[in-house]
Amino acid sequence: MSAGGISTWNWITTAINPSCLLIIISKSSRWNFDVELKYEVLVRDAGSPSLSAVAGLTLIIEDVNDCPPQFTQSVYVFDVRENCQRGTAVGTVLAYDDDSWPFNVVRLVFA
């Protein structure tokens, strides 16, 4: 990034003018993962000789539990014979969650 410039990293936009660094989240979609971005910020004055300082900047975007679990089908129907062996699998019910861990752990409960 250069002074007065604009840089875009996929969905993070940074804009710099002589006295301000602006970081903008440029996509308002569900990312469903945690992000940690590290920057090194340099500030320099206009004196002669020019003096400067460096600081670290860490931007952390944390996932939130914003995606409900979903089943892969709306209805499940399984047929089983009454005299099947004990322990016979009769079918599979699948569910998923688009969030990242730990929000994407699903648990099926019969009600």
DSSP 8-state class, residue 100: P
pTM over 0.85: no
Does some domain include residue 46? yes
Co-location of 19 and 55 in the same domain: yes
Measured CA to CA, the distance from residue 12 to residue 80 in angstroms comes to 53
- The full DSSP string for 9-64 is ETTEEEEEETTEEEEEE---S---S-EEEEEEEEEE-SSSS--EEEEEEEEEE---
Residue 103, domain extent: 65-111
Q: Is residue 76 part of a domain?
A: yes
Give the rounded percent of residues in the chain with a pLDDT score beyond 70. 77
Those residues with Cβ within 8 angstroms of residue 44's Cβ, 6 or more apart along the chain or in another chain:
50, 51, 52
Tens of pLDDT, residue by residue over 14-54, are: 667 667 777 777 665 556 677 787 888 888 888 999 999 99
Residues 110 and 70 in one domain: yes
